[in-house]
Structure 1
Amino acid sequence: MSFDPMAAAVDWLDAYRAGDVETILGMYADDAVIYCNCGGAKTLTGQGALRAYWVDRLKRNPAFELDDLQLSRDETHISYFTSTGLVTALLTFNAVGQIRTLSCGP
């Protein structure tokens, strides 16, 4: 891996905390998939769906402080607090450091 997946996860959370939708979207691969179990199970693909998800997420569930960060084989586990409580996210990355999948839930 030519990038640091833990640093990439922190950059993702920093952009989320800043409410920077363009930076967040720029971190995702073109074929990225979000599996979200926050408020009901959702699977999202395509740039339009990711944008709609993040615009809504930033408005309804802003992120606050980091709780935990761990690297586990091919996944980076990051947990953080939002307005609705603790959320755990699993990020996988492609070879160039873009987010390939995000799986999140309470």
Structure 2
Amino acid sequence: MTSCGSSISPSQVNDTLPSLTQATYYNQVNAAEAQNSGKCKLLTKSRNYVAPIGFTVKNDLKNGARGIDEWVQLDGGNAYVLTNFKWVTVDHQGSTQLHIDFNTMVCE
């Protein structure tokens, strides 16, 4: 069994991943506005999380969401900004693993 991460579009990730996290999602534009207005404070920039293989795209995203929530909580925050994601091939059978880059924030 392999995860076929390449079959999901960036807009599908941006629509699905935030619905799976407990932390509040900000897109990059809204995050910059929230930080400039003083509503949010950046806690950690360029955090990278490698999600456990979930064997389906949806399970990869669920595993990624759990990791985001854990890091946001450990950083003392309540929000995050997804900055990049990619599925990386990890073996000769074509299995893929989700890599997520994000910033953590604390917001009012």
TM-score range, shorter chain: 0.3 to 0.5
Q: Normalized against structure 1, the TM-score is what?
A: 0.35
The structure, 1 or 2, with the larger RCO (C-alpha pairs under 8 Å, 6+ apart) is 2
Name the structure with the higher strand share.
1
- Normalized per residue, the structure richer in helix is 2
Q: Which has the larger radius of gyration?
A: 2
